[in-house]
Amino acid sequence: MNLFSLKPHPLVAHWVPGFVVCLVLTLGRFDWSFQTLAIALSGGSTAATSPSSVPEASASGATATISILVVTILAFVVGEIIDAIRNIREDDRVRWDFFFWCKEQELTNMEESYFTWYAFDANMALGLVLAVGLLVLGKLLCMVPCHWNSLCEVAVVLLISSYVLHRDAKSLRKEIADLTHAWCDKNGIKATIKPENEKSPDKQR
């Protein structure tokens, strides 16, 4: 169930990974220079403030505001796409019935302590791999001006970070599966979603 809200989960688990991917790709496009990126976001103007430059400064401010708004929206869209890919790769080891039948405080505890950070780790790990792939593709297509040496250094850092996040996501997912199974068994909740690897009696014959 995907409901848009300003709760920690969509902001942390969806928007932040999307923003990091957008930031990495944008920095690669500007040869890893924050200064060049800042100038581009502000409309490319570095003129000093004077009476004659007030209209130009106002235009630059408007350009910067629009750029920030576009990046904010784009980051959320990218984050949602990454989360959708993660969701497609999900299996049924977690008892999702827990999220429908548990009490509100139990759901809050699960989201704040486990599920939000699991989704964040998984989405960030997937997003970093995606960013590296797009950077390499952009370099091969001559769309990324950075040198191969700097690109390889950044790629190594991103892939190592992705591996660490992936391992943590697997650990959190196992804890979520154990907790949801224990809760459902304790409360007598029968599984409404049958795992794909569990065959029906007819198919076992």
Non-local (6+) Cβ contacts of 49 within 8 A are 57
Flag whether pLDDT at 168 surpasses 50.
yes
Of the pLDDT bands very low, low, confident and very high (cuts 50, 70, 90), residue 194 is low
Name the nearest CA neighbour of 19 among 92, 70, 94, 54.
70
Residue 136 is predicted with a pLDDT of: 94
CA 184/CA 190 separation, integer angstroms: 7
b/e burial code for range 34-51 (CB count within 10 A of at least 16 → b): eeebeebbbbeeeeeeee
The pLDDT of residue 37: 76
What does the radius of gyration of the chain's CA atoms come to, in whole angstroms? 22
Question: In whole angstroms, what separates CA 37 from the centre of its chain?
Answer: 22
pLDDT at 155 over 60: yes
The 10 Å CB-count burial string (b at 16+, else e) for 96-126 is: ebbeeebeeeeeeebbeebbbbbbbbbbbbb
Q: How far apart are CA 119 and CA 111, in angstroms?
A: 10
User: For residue 123, what pLDDT is reported?
Assistant: 96
Percent of the chain topping pLDDT 70: 77
Give the pLDDT mean for 149-167. 95
- pLDDT of 203 strictly over 50: no
Task: Please give the average per-residue pLDDT across 20-49, as a whole number.
Answer: 76
Weakest-pLDDT range from 58-62, 154-158, 173-177, 198-202: 198-202
| Contact (Cβ atoms closer than 8 angstroms) between residue 24 and residue 131 | yes
Q: What is the rounded distance in angstroms from the CA atom of residue 144 to the CA atom of residue 124?
A: 22
> What pLDDT does residue 44 have?
59
Lowest mean pLDDT among 20-34, 44-58, 162-176: 44-58
Q: What is the DSSP letter of 48?
A: P
At residue 71 the predicted structure's pLDDT band, cuts being 50, 70 and 90, is confident
Residue 117 has pLDDT above 60, yes or no: yes
